[in-house]
Amino acid sequence: MLRAIHSLLPSPNRRTLSVFLFTSVLCLLSYLLGLYIHSRPSAAVAASAGPPSSDCPLIITPLLPPSLNFLPRHAAATAFPPLPPPLPDLPFCPSNFSDYCPCQDATRERRFSMGSLFHRERHCPDPDERVRCRIPRPRGYRRTVPWPESRNYAWFANVPSKRLTESKKDQNWVRLEGDRLVFPGGGTSFPYGVKWYVSEMAKLVPLKSGEIRTVLDIGCGVASFGGHLIDYKVLTMSVAPRDVHEAQVQFALERGLPAMLGVLSTYRLPYPSKSFDMAHCARCLIHWAGHEGSYLLEIDRVLRPGGYWVLSGPPINWKNMYKGWQRTAKDLEEEQIAIENLAKQLCWKKVVEKAPIAVWRKPTNHVHCLKKSKILKSPPFCAGTDPDAAWYEKLERCITPLPKVETIDEIAGGTLAKWPRRLTTTPPRITSGTISGATPKTFNQDNQIWNKRVSHYATYISAIQGGRYRNIMDMNAGLGGFAAALSKYPVWVMNVVPTAKNNTLGAIYERGLIGTYMDWCEAFSTYPRTYDFIHADSVFSLYMKKCDIIDILLEMDRILRPEGAVIIRDHVDVVGKVKKEADRLKWQSRVVHNEKGPFDTEKLLIIDNSLVLDSSQTS
């Protein structure tokens, strides 16, 4: 039987076997040659990267995977229409734009009412008023002083403003010494220096226990108060308007301290309710009892249950200070009485008043406050409004109600762990299910994901680990996982939650991190050249149909320091579009795989912004 079957099969001759063997060898050699070629970096890519710069913190070497190229490489590509010519490069703005803040522009604010400082609020240009040019560096700009030395001094050429050095000369806010700005830690309310001031405050509020982690400093000056709180592991959001004390927020950011432009005026501060463990005002000249108490009601909204409000300067200690303040004793006494009465109506308890410092504490719940409110003739409790909504939301003359509790000893909204356990403990807003799609399980998974991603990022940007970066922005912060993964480094992160996304900012604050709301079709409330590193996860997918890609990139270019870097993380199709627009800014950029490898549809656009500009561009 077997012999019969064998007789039916064809009998190959020697020529057929030789052809088969030769073809197999050719295929094998072609396969090995292909492996060899594709395992080496592209010479064109290596050449396009240019020679390494000593000022360049972004590490792109031939040892790394080559930049991905999505152009067709096969012969059939000739059948398609030719690619459109590259878009024209964007020019630099005139030199007087070097400190341009689009939404806090000193020339545009003249159009608006000065009542209640409304002209200091955000007033962004209309689309037809926007400038589409790159903000130039001031002449003589230098790489910023690294942290922690930057807390004490900065290069004058980077922030060439003398107004504060002259107007506050006798108060030691900042001094000009040669080519350096020196910050000795003085201030209007710090006659013995900020170190003495904070040490006195530490005797009145629990700065050392980990209970206080996030602080809001209103009218921050050059942020010396927040700078010294870092020694207590306290993170301060320093806020001041762009006013006659020119560049104070810019000074703060140049020092490596968290700060942003803002004012108590018409709208809510851009933070969720129950955000800060402490709010502070040192002679910030805010009429707290005026405007029907709306400013103090706003402080009450952003203070967490049990949070502290610290006030120093007028009218505190008026009996000893009224002559120096050039005000009458009666006037100051009446102002303090009005503040004391308003604090009682808010159900705050006065903890202590010692020398220049007075401390009140917000209740941990509103159980007993509801009963007292009628007797004290308190403002009504807000109804029908979202307490976390704070993007162009007008101030209301009502008390923001705390979440309901069962007993008088319970903390409304849930108990927060002390720092540093607070960073990794599931936030109460997540355990209570108030954030859509977020659970304790997804929170822990998010932390693990971002730890892996940040480790992968360090493959391309060594300065993440090397201490070159200090000010970092996350343009789409989610639950704050990116910032948490960076917590082991000497950096701080501005966690931005886009107004178009699920509101997660409250949970970020419950982790002991800071951030703000933002619509990225507008400009951020900061000066140019104030962030070392910007991270944009799915930002362009989110805004693709809302505004132009180039406007978002120009805003990133405005706030990014010249020696800084950017990572844009998005779908491969979106990254390709962003890359074309980024090339118009003459950014050194490359597309690479994410930590999941080549088969994932999400890619990274790594940008190195350490460009060497010629004299015509920096004039």
Helix, strand, coil shares of the chain, percent, nearest 5, are 35, 15, 50
pLDDT at 615 over 60: no
pLDDT number for residue 465:
72
Measured between alpha carbons, how far is residue 119 from residues 28, 266, 267, 524, 569 in Å? 74, 10, 12, 17, 36
Q: Which residue has the higher pLDDT, 63 or 591?
A: 591
**CA 501 to mean position of chain CA atoms:** 16
The b/e string for 428-452 (b: 16+ C-beta within 10 A; e otherwise) is bbbbeebbeebeeeebeebbebbee
In the predicted model, is pLDDT for residue 77 greater than 80?
A: no
Distance CA 253, CA 226 (A): 11
Calpha distance 214→510 (Å, rounded): 9
Cα–Cα dist 351/2, whole Å: 103
| φ and ψ at residue 20, rounded to 5 degrees | -65, -45
Distance in angstroms (rounded) separating the CA atoms of residues 217 and 208:
18
Q: How far apart are CA 351 and CA 310, in angstroms?
A: 10
Section 502-520 average pLDDT: 97
**Which of 122, 93, 365 shows the shortest CA–CA distance to 241?**
122
Q: Which of 161-170, 487-496, 525-534 has the lowest mean pLDDT?
A: 161-170
What tens digit of pLDDT does each residue of 344-398 get?
Answer: 999 999 999 998 899 999 999 999 998 888 889 999 999 989 999 999 999 999 9
Q: What is the mean pLDDT of residues 79-108?
A: 85
- Contact 500/519 with Cβ under 8 angstroms? yes
Note the pLDDT tens digit of each residue in 61-76: 334 566 777 655 555 5
pLDDT, residue 463, reads 77
pLDDT for 616: 38
Report the pLDDT averaged over residues 491-502.
95
pLDDT at 187: 77
pTM over 0.85: yes
Sign of CA dihedral 203, 207, 209, 215: positive
pLDDT band of 33, cuts 50, 70, 90:
low
Tell me, letter by letter, the H, E, C secondary structure of 37-79: HHHCCCHHHHHHHCCCCCCCCCCCCCCCCCCCCCCCCCHHHHH
**pLDDT at residue 508 greater than cutoff 70:** yes
Q: 29 pLDDT band (50/70/90 cuts)?
A: low
